Amino acid sequence: MEPVSSQPIVAVKIDEEHCSACSICSSVCPFEAIKKDPETGKILLEIEKCQTCGICYSSCPSHAIEAISYDMDSLAGYLEKAKQEYDSDSLVIMCKGSAPDFAEVEKLFGISSFVPLSVPCVGRIPGEILLRAISSLGMKKIYMLACDTDYCRYEKGSAVAGRRAAVLNLLLEQLGYGREVIEFRRNSLKVKVDRNKCIGCGNCAFFCPFDAAKLESGAAEIDLELCRGCGLCVTLCPALALELEHWEGERLSSSISRLSSEMRKPSILVMRCQWAAFPRPDEELDSSVRVIDLPCAARVDPMHITEALANGTDGVLIAACPEDDCRSETGSKESHRLVASLKKTLAQIGLEERVHFCSVAPRYPQTFYEELQQFKERIEGELSKEAGQ
């Protein structure tokens, strides 16, 4: 018998006992990770292909899929707590990809107080959670903010959520809750160019994985229809002429300086692709660790890493998706290259161990915490080495 501890914890599992083998999960899975075994008729999940989008979880009529992240119990638990904390009867459910910033949500929907729920893809929210928010928590209105359909990190997530909202609205209307109880919108974050700052070097046009950047009359231009907001061009722009909405350089700089000052020593700043690890909605990390979630590892800017170190942060951990999982094509790979090059410079002053690049995927939820723990031990080792000198 295999020892239990050698099996990695996986984020999604199929509970054979409850599964009715209806195949809905396999038809909604955007990544062909779920298939019906032609011989046994059983539904099988290939975890290596799974991107942990949760669309199968939210679509399963038999509750036969188990999800570790953002499962029904933790969502319901969070909502109950958040309802008291925010004291509002409006719930805003937003995809991290389209709305990382609450102020922007206020502007988009014209509301000033709301219970926020930020999730990786609104397609993973089961209809039951929406109904429970209305019937048991007394929510009067639910606003859902998804990404544009062609921008959805999980391909079908935004479309699935849109259909689900439409069906539930019909049901809620029939039940007498009124019209359009769920207001559904789409929004995507894109790169903007300051043509006055552009020096026409062509980095953006050469590196853009989506052919969205071009040089027009010697300066960069971004085709917003094609831009997927990974931020690679922004990180590679030598003139700081590009900005990614909501992850502007100055905004990240001020987060870094604020977080650097509030961390307990030895302090670790994690710059993480928001699709590489899924924290619990109410997760609290150790006070020596702070996380900046980014749209892709491609937006991990070496300039911000040095800024964190210069601000007194003891270590910077970069958590990216494995290259094969990266939804920005080359984002993870380019990020790895940029961090490696920065580490070479830092090696000249003995600080290369202070920065570490790791690949993690939410399908194995433990790996991020293991990497963090190892890095923490390494930083503690480095600091005691220095103190001993």
Partner 1 sequence: MIVTSQKPLDEILDFLSPYRAVLLAGCDGCTQPPRGIREARTLGQIIELASRLRGKELSVSTTTVAKQCDSYLALTSLEPQTKDVEAVLTLACGLGVQTIAEVLPDVPVFPAQNTLFIGAERRETATLEERCAACGDCILEFTGGICPIARCPKSLLNGPCGGSANGKCEVDPEKDCVWDLIIKRLEKLDRLSVLEEIRPPRNFWQVARPGRVSE
> Which residues of the shown chain bind partner 1 in the complex (CB under 8 A)?
199, 201, 203, 206, 237-240, 302-303, 306-307, 309-310, 342, 345-346, 348-351
Cβ distance to partner 1 smaller for residue 59 or 267: 267
Is the Cα dihedral 351, 287, 52, 119 positive or negative?
negative
The span from the CA of 330 to the CA of 320, in Å, is 12
Q: How far is the CB of 142 from partner 1 (least distance, A)?
A: 42
Question: Helix axis angle, 157-174 relative to 127-135, nearest 10°?
Answer: 40
Which helix (H) or strand (E) covers residue 303, if one does? helix 302-310
Closest Cα partner for 162 from 228, 111, 93, 227?
93
Cβ distance to partner 1 smaller for residue 171 or 310: 310
Closest Cα partner for 372 from 306, 333, 318, 324?
318
Q: How far is the CB of 375 from partner 1 (least distance, A)?
A: 19
Cβ distance to partner 1 smaller for residue 203 or 367: 203
Closest Cα partner for 295 from 143, 123, 95?
95
CB 221 within 8 Å of CB 211: no
Q: How far is the CB of 352 from partner 1 (least distance, A)?
A: 12
CB 123 within 8 Å of CB 154: yes
Cβ distance to partner 1 smaller for residue 307 or 325: 307
Cβ distance to partner 1 smaller for residue 119 or 308: 308
Q: How far is the CB of 351 from partner 1 (least distance, A)?
A: 7
DSSP strands (E only) in 39-86: 43-45, 65-67
Q: How far is the CB of 241 from partner 1 (least distance, A)?
A: 9
Q: How far is the CB of 85 from partner 1 (least distance, A)?
A: 38
Q: How do 182-186 and 115-119 pair as beta strands?
A: unpaired
Q: How far is the CB of 84 from partner 1 (least distance, A)?
A: 43
Q: How do 90-95 and 141-146 pair as beta strands?
A: parallel
Q: How far is the CB of 293 from partner 1 (least distance, A)?
A: 22
Residue 249's SS3 state is helix
CB 116 within 8 Å of CB 86: yes
Cβ distance to partner 1 smaller for residue 140 or 337: 337
Cβ distance to partner 1 smaller for residue 228 or 354: 354
Cβ distance to partner 1 smaller for residue 322 or 350: 350
| Alpha-carbon distance values, 159 to 127, 166, 299, 341, 371 (Å) | 14, 11, 26, 40, 34
